[in-house]
Amino acid sequence: MTFGTRLHAAIADRGPLCAGIDPHAALLRDWGLADDVAGLERFALTAVEGLAPHVSVVKPQSAFYERFGSRGIAVLERVVAESRAAGALVLLDVKRGDIGSTSQAYADAYLDASSPLAVDAITASPYLGFGSLDPMIETARRHDAGVFVLALTSNKEGPEVQHARVDDGTVAGRMLDHLRALNEGAAPLGSFGAVVGATIGDTGEDLDINGPLLAPGYGAQGGTVADLKRIFGAASGAVLPSSSRELLRAGPDPRALGEAARRVNDELAGLAR
């Protein structure tokens, strides 16, 4: 079963919310935890306990685990395994992008089912040229995984590259064209998605790529259901609004985390309509 098929079923069953599990040092302190490996483990696994049974996708940000070295990566492995055991798909936010054998090594690390860090999908940067992602795309195809490609991000530096003109369009538009081609003919949903910020203005781009659309910035960062409908229009049914801080501030009680996830999914129930 392809990633797109699994994701489509998960959204229908659990709603579109993607829960970020990002152990910022400030959030660890807010939960009364030390900024060390023990605090990381308590935070991350409590977040999984509270959120993973209620959302379609869990999205750990790899950097917040990597900063603790090998022991942090070991916690990340547990986050992946326990999130999947709770029925959630795992999208690892790593934003990798390189060429040749290095790109293939990243693909093997995250998308090959035999890897201890294998996940359902990853984020990737195409700005060494979309073709640089070919090893990730092909490895994802072999293992029924997914790749979310940065397209229109909400950081203030993004337009310098993403809005640059190329031929008769923009660089971001070219990335979306590549994804549309990869997803052509896929049903019910393609496996290759775009990352489009939930707080950006009108894009002027065709966001219907027959694939999923990860929308970071929902909730505490300002994105609303009205914003999502305005930005994505007819493609809103394929949107995965991502929230981290708004959900995690409900902790450390796992029940409160679960209630926060259910509340946000209720808010998003009308997104596809």
Residues designated as active site: 95
Residue 216 near residue 197 (C-beta atoms within 8 A)? yes
Angstrom distance (rounded) from CA 258 to CA 49: 8
Residues 6 or more apart whose Cβ sits within 8 Å of residue 11:
56, 240
Residue 32 near residue 58 (C-beta atoms within 8 A)? no
Per DSSP bridges, beta strands 169-170 and 89-96 are unpaired
Per DSSP bridges, beta strands 169-170 and 146-152 are unpaired
* Residue 245, SS3 per DSSP: helix
Per DSSP bridges, beta strands 57-60 and 18-21 are parallel
Name the one residue in this structure whose structure tokens are 């302190």: 29
What is the enclosing helix (H) or strand (E) of 191?
Answer: none
Per DSSP bridges, beta strands 169-170 and 165-166 are antiparallel
Phi, psi of 271 (to 5 degrees): -60, -40
